[in-house]
């Protein structure tokens, strides 16, 4: 029906009868079977998918995400596997002059056979492969067979590195400090037939040549693969209206045709916290007088965007300029959402990226040990106005530099840069994660000869200083950054130049206060772990109640000092609970406290500092990790508190030598006027001191707006409340463990609403870090918040549940 309607619309549009002759696409996702290479029995398989999912489906392995099962399934990655399917080509396809078979992603080293005849070897999960079926006799029924080598294939590479670096696939699957070792093989992306007669469009590059308020000049490079010389037309449509028709002299072979057009009074694309992320729908239809031969469209956001990295009085800047405005980047590092990519649904992408926007994040870094993400990820980032810092997929290692490897990397980079270049959200291509820091600082050079070291560094430069920047330059207009971070924290310049990974806290066990004393220019990683919510813990253990001392939980903590560090830091700031449920709650508060201290110190340092991306947004399996959202999508305390610290208008107070200094950080692009209201109260609501002042906070700035001296006040029992327009902040003068929080009842009233429940809370005393929880699946509009004495607060709980009898309320007061 929809097809019919669009054909009808086109008929009306062209005012003549145009039939559609676009290439025919037939997905090959059915009839798949698999077996290990030494087995004789074939079993049904899902495509796209991977070997673990298929084995799990047939109950040959146990769920590796629960208990200690991960270790039981390691044999899977040591085996060779074969997949096959029988496919039929219908008459229409068979009648076409050109028939090709496309693989969007094979993981990884495989041999492809059609009807028993060898076709192709593959060795890069990040590239696509095409086989022309033109010269192969294609019967109506055909067998496609793919033989995969073991995922853990030991490579006989010339340089002695970790095994993973020799195979171009997701590196985290070999095990990471937040992820299991579940190294997959399989057909992980679409497989399809494409059939056509005269031509197909390969690609369109919609390039913005010039952008002003009155005009955008756009150039479109349309790559066409044609099989005859012919005269055709291209119609250009913007937001479904035809703006131009050009004639094209199409020549045999792969060629690129350039079309220029303009958009008057263009609307710009903005990160969502600064404006509307407006997208133009731009479509190109290639046709002759009778029929449409192919069409391609792109959603295009018009904006200027560049990384500004230039020498200044401090060292070297690192910030992003969007539409000529320096933009403070707020967000997190993103890792793959599952060890098994086939389990990640569109819904997962939508939810996670909504969660990022809800937490006022305007940038995500797609970290280099994962994957180049699916199209939907970038489409949603475009739509939602989230900037993407895109790493190439290289992390924490030195990589080979032989000819074959370099050619493979070059093809991968070309493919990925071209694939993502139309996205308004792409802000940066970065070469790798911590490879340079590791080489210079982590002892990787130990025990190697001078020649060997020279060779390894030259190989590094070949990839990250030559091939990757060249590919980015040749195929896009995006900025390139060689390695994140620019300097390791052993180098004194780490604070004054480029981006930094601030792991003094956590890895080096420095206090959270170190975030305030040492603020780099752009913090592209800093993080702290916490336990996930009860749902995840109970799933790992397959139990009904929280137990964090099981072997299963231990096997889901991948950082060797993880538990010890959480405990050590908790002792510094909190009273350490003895029961597991409370411990989990405080671990989340601890993580949120540390990371928001970092975010706020970094934002106060604007414009010297221009970015805060914490480590890490999400999890790839149920685990104890640095994430702010757990494997099941539940927000930890950090996500709720980061949402406040990332607001466009933030009030933030810092203790200095003699004072408490209050700043207002205004990320919006207008000056903001208002009344600054300040008061200190005790935990029973008695006012100790108050003041107010009219102020103006400059656009896009961080401004010190008030200070009070450190007079002798009752630090354990007072809270400092600062309000400015709708913004509000609470500052405590003592560490949580030293606060004298009163015991007091929280009155609650629960009402059923259309989308769940509304929960009304009040108390006669200050209640710190109220945590609402229920076993019912749902989302609280706020959580881990403070409630002031005699104030009312209403929280919405969005859920499909019909009742809410098990609502639990925890506070720091009640521990």
Is 29 strand, coil or helix?
A: coil
Residue number with CB closer to ligand BMA (54 or 434): 434
Q: Mind giving me the DSSP string for 155-200?
A: ---SS---GGGGSBS-GGGB--SSS-B----EE-S-EEEEEESSEE
Residue 366 beta carbon to ligand BMA: minimum distance, rounded to whole angstroms: 12
Q: Does 396 bind ligand BMA (CB under 6 A)?
A: yes
Q: Using CA atoms, how far apart are residues 384 and 632, in angstroms rounded to an integer?
A: 22
| Residue 340 CB, nearest approach to ligand BMA (Å) | 19
The distance of closest approach from Cβ of residue 70 to ligand BMA in the complex, given in angstroms and rounded to an integer, is 17
Residue 615 binding ligand BMA, by CB under 6 A: yes
Residues 641, 652 contacting (CB under 8 angstroms): no
Nearer to ligand BMA, 628 or 767 (CB): 628
Q: Which of 89, 363 has the CB closer to ligand BMA?
A: 363
732 binds ligand BMA, rule: CB under 6 A: no
What count of other Cβ atoms lies within 10 Å of the Cβ of residue 628?
A: 31
In the complex, minimum distance from the CB of residue 428 to ligand BMA, in angstroms, rounded to a whole number: 16
Give me 199's structure tokens: 């031509």
Q: Which is nearer to ligand BMA, 67 or 396 (CB)?
A: 396
Q: Which stretch binds ligand BMA (CB under 6 A): 175-183, 230-238, 297-305, 645-653?
A: 175-183
The stretch near ligand BMA (CB under 6 A) out of 19-27, 89-97, 173-181, 414-422 is 173-181
Residue closer to ligand BMA by CB (options 434, 582) is 434
How many whole angstroms separate alpha carbon 415 and alpha carbon 104? 11
The single residue listed with the structure tokens 């004298």 is 740
Of 57, 177, 659, 661, the one binding ligand BMA by CB under 6 A: 177
What x/- string results for residues 775 through 794 when contact with ligand BMA is judged by CB under 6 A?
Answer: --------------------
Touching ligand BMA, residues 224-253 (CB under 6 A) = none
| By the rule CB under 6 A, 501 interacts with ligand BMA | yes
Query: Is 490 or 607 the residue whose CB approaches ligand BMA more closely?
Result: 490
Q: Which stretch binds ligand BMA (CB under 6 A): 171-179, 301-309, 574-582, 775-783?
A: 171-179
Kindly write out the interface string for residues 341-380 of this chain, putting x where it contacts ligand BMA by CB under 6 A and - elsewhere.
Answer: ----------------------------------------
Q: Which CB sits closer to ligand BMA, 64 or 562?
A: 562
User: Cα–Cα–Cα angle for 437, 443, 446, nearest 5°?
Assistant: 135
Comparing CB distances to ligand BMA, the nearer of 101 and 523 is: 523
Rounded to a whole number of angstroms, the minimum distance from the CB of residue 178 to ligand BMA is 5
Check: CB of residue 548 under 8 Å from CB of residue 531.
yes
Residue with tokens 């913007």: 238
Cβ proximity of 643 and 671 under 8 Å: no
Three-class SS of residue 39? Answer: coil
Contact between 439 and ligand BMA by CB under 6 A: the answer reads no
Q: Which among 126, 78, 294, 289 has a CA at the least distance from the CA of 203?
A: 294
DSSP characters over 342-390: GG--HHHHHHHHHHHHHTT--EEEE-TTS-PPPHHHHHHHHHHT-EEEE
> What is d(CA 165, CA 179) in angstroms, rounded to the nearest whole number?
17
Burial degree of 694 (CB within 10 A; 0-12, 13-18, 19+): exposed
Figure out which of the listed residues 434, 499, 600, 667 binds ligand BMA, where binding follows CB under 6 A: 434
The residue (of 301 and 562) whose beta carbon lies closer to ligand BMA is 562
Residue 178 touches ligand BMA, criterion: CB under 6 A: yes
Compute the least distance from the CB of residue 418 to ligand BMA, in Å.
26
Task: Mark the segment that binds ligand BMA (CB under 6 A) among 176-184, 339-347, 397-405, 711-719.
Answer: 176-184
619 is a site residue for ligand BMA (CB under 6 A)? no
Q: How far is the CB of 508 from ligand BMA (least distance, A)?
A: 12
Number of helices (H) and strands (E) in the chain: give both, helices first. 17, 45
Widest Cα–Cα separation across the chain: 90
Which residue lies nearer to ligand BMA by CB, 186 or 331?
331
Nearer to ligand BMA, 385 or 485 (CB): 485
Shorter beta-carbon distance to ligand BMA: residue 394 or 583: 394
- Residue 369 CB, shortest distance to ligand BMA, in Å, is 6
At closest approach, how far in Å is the CB of 397 from ligand BMA? 10
Please tell me the distance from the alpha carbon of residue 541 to that of residue 561, in angstroms, as a whole number: 21
* Region for residue 632 given its phi and psi (left: phi exceeds 0; alpha: psi -120 to 50; beta: otherwise): alpha
Which residues lie closer than 8 Å to 443 by C-beta, 6 or more apart?
A: none
Question: Taking the complex as a whole, how short is the minimal distance between the CB of residue 635 and ligand BMA, in angstroms?
Answer: 20
Residue count (the chain): 815
In this complex, which beta carbon is closest to ligand BMA, that of residue 172 or of residue 724? 172
Give the containing element (helix H, strand E) for 538. Answer: helix 534-541
Give the residue with the Cβ less far from ligand BMA, 178 or 284. 178
Give the shortest CB-613-to-ligand BMA separation in angstroms: 11
Nearer to ligand BMA, 396 or 812 (CB): 396
Stretch near ligand BMA under the rule CB under 6 A, chosen from 61-69, 90-98, 174-182, 456-464: 174-182
Residue 678 has φ and ψ, to the nearest 5°, of: -125, 135
Taking the complex as a whole, how short is the minimal distance between the CB of residue 467 and ligand BMA, in angstroms? Answer: 22
Size of the site for ligand BMA (CB under 6 A): 9
Residues 428, 307: contact at Cβ < 8 Å? Answer: yes
Pairwise CA distance, residues 736 & 94, whole Å: 73
Which of 152, 433, 479, 596 lies at the binding interface for ligand BMA (CB under 6 A)? Answer: 433
Number of neighbouring beta carbons within 10 Å of residue 793: 17
User: 279 with 300: CB under 8 angstroms?
Assistant: yes
Query: Which of the ranges 170-178, 579-587, 764-772, 776-784 carries the binding residues for ligand BMA, by CB under 6 A?
Result: 170-178
Per-position b or e across 378-389, b if 16+ CB within 10 A of its CB: bbbbbbbbbbbb
- Output phi, psi for 588, to 5 deg: -70, -40
**Cβ distance to ligand BMA smaller for residue 349 or 394:** 394
The residue (of 268 and 501) whose beta carbon lies closer to ligand BMA is 501
DSSP 266: P
Q: How far is the CB of 524 from ligand BMA (least distance, A)?
A: 9
Min dist CB 576 to ligand BMA, Å, is 23
Q: How far is the CB of 430 from ligand BMA (least distance, A)?
A: 11
Instruction: Provide CB contacts within 8 A for 499, sequence distance 6+.
Output: 318, 481, 484, 485, 486, 520, 521, 522, 523, 524, 611
Does residue 482 bind ligand BMA (CB under 6 A)? no
Which candidate, 428, 412, 431, 419, places its Cα nearest to that of 482? Answer: 431
Closest CA to 783 of 809, 746, 802: 809
Q: Is 525 in the site for ligand BMA (CB under 6 A)?
A: yes
Shortest spacing between CB 313 and ligand BMA, in angstroms: 29
Residues that bind ligand BMA (CB under 6 A): 176-178, 396, 433-434, 501, 525, 615
């Amino acid at each position: 029906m929809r097809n019919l309607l669009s054909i009808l619309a086109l008929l009306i549009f062209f005012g003549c009868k145009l039939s559609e002759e676009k290439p025919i696409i037939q997905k090959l996702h059915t009839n798949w079977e698999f077996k290990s290479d030494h087995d004789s029995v074939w079993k049904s398989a899902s495509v796209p998918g991977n070997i673990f999912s298929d084995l799990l489906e047939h109950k040959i392995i146990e769920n590796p995400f629960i208990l200690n099962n991960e270790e039981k399934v390691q044999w899977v990655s040591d085996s060779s596997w074969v997949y096959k399917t029988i496919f039929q080509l219908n008459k229409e396809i068979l009648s076409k002059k050109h028939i090709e078979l496309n693989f969007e992603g094979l993981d990884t080293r495989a041999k492809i056979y059609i009807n028993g005849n060898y076709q192709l070897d593959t060795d890069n999960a990040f590239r696509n492969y095409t086989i022309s079926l033109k010269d192969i006799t294609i019967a109506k029924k055909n067998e496609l067979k793919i033989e995969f080598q073991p995922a853990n294939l030991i490579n006989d590479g010339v340089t002695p590195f970790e095994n993973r670096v020799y195979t171009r696939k997701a590196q985290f699957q070999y095990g990471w400090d937040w992820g299991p070792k579940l190294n997959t093989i399989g057909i992980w992306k679409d497989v399809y037939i494409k059939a056509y007669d005269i031509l197909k469009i390969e690609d369109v590059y919609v390039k913005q040549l010039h952008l002003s308020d009155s005009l955008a000049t756009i150039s479109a490079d349309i790559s066409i693969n044609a099989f005859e010389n012919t005269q055709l037309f291209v119609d250009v449509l913007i937001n479904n209206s035809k703006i131009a028709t050009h004639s094209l002299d199409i020549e045999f072979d792969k060629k690129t045709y350039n079309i220029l057009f303009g958009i008057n009074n263009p609307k710009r694309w903005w990160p969502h916290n600064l404006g509307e992320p407006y997208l133009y729908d731009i479509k190109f239809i290639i046709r002759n007088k009778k029929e449409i031969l192919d069409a391609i469209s792109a959603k295009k956001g018009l904006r200027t965007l560049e990384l500004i990295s230039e020498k200044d009085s401090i060292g070297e800047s690192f910030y992003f300029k969007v539409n000529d405005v320096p933009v403070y980047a707020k967000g997190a590092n993103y890792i793959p959402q599952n060890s098994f990519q086939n389990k990640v649904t569109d819904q997962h992408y939508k939810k996670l990226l909504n969660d990022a926007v809800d937490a006022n994040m305007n940038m995500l870094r797609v970290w280099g040990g994962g994957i180049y993400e699916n199209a939907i990820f970038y489409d949603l980032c475009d739509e939602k106005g989230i900037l993407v810092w895109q790493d190439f997929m290289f992390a924490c290692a030195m990589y080979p530099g032989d000819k074959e490897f370099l050619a493979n990397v070059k093809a991968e980079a070309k493919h990925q840069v071209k694939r993502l270049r139309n996205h308004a959200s792409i802000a940066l291509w970065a070469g790798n994660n911590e490879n340079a820091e590791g080489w210079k600082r982590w002892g990787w050079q130990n025990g190697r000869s001078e020649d060997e070291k020279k060779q390894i560094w030259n190989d590094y430069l070949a990839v990250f200083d030559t091939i990757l920047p060249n590919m980015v330059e040749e195929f896009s207009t995006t900025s390139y950054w060689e390695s994140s971070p620019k300097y390791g924290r052993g180098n004194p310049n780490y604070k004054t130049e480029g981006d930094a990974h601030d792991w003094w806290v956590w890895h080096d066990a420095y206090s959270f206060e170190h975030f305030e004393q040492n603020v780099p220019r752009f913090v592209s990683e800093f993080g702290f772990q916490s336990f996930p919510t009860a749902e995840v813990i109970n799933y790992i253990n397959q139990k009904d109640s929280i137990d964090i001392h099981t072997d299963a939980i231990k096997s889901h903590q991948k950082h060797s000092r993880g538990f010890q560090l959480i405990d050590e830091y908790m002792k510094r700031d909190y009273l350490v609970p003895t029961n597991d449920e409370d411990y989990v709650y405080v671990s989340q508060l601890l993580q949120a406290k540390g990371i928001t201290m970092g975010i706020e110190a970094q934002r106060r340092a604007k414009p010297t500092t221009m970015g805060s991306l914490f480590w890490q947004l999400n999890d790839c399996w149920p685990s104890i990790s640095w994430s702010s959202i757990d494997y099941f999508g539940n927000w930890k305390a950090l996500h709720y508190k980061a949402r406040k610290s990332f607001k466009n208008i933030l009030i933030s107070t810092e203790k200095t030598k003699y004072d408490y200094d209050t700043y207002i950080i205004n990320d919006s692009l207008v000056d903001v006027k208002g009344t600054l209201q300040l008061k200190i109260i005790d935990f029973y609501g008695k006012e100790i001191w108050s003041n107010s002042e009219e102020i103006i906070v400059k656009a896009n700035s961080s401004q010190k707006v008030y200070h009070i001296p450190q007079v002798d006040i009752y630090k354990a029992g007072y809270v400092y409340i600062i309000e400015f327009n709708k913004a509000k902040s609470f500052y405590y003068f003592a560490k949580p463990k030293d606060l004298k929080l009163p015991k007091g009842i929280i009155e609650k009233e629960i009402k059923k609403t259309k989308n769940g429940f509304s929960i009304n809370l009040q108390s006669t005393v200050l209640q710190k870090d109220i945590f609402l929880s229920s076993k019912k699946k749902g989302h609280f509009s706020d959580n881990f918040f403070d409630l002031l004495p005699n104030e009312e607060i209403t929280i919405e709980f969005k859920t499909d549940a019909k009742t809410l009898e098990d609502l639990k309320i925890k506070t720091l007061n009640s521990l």
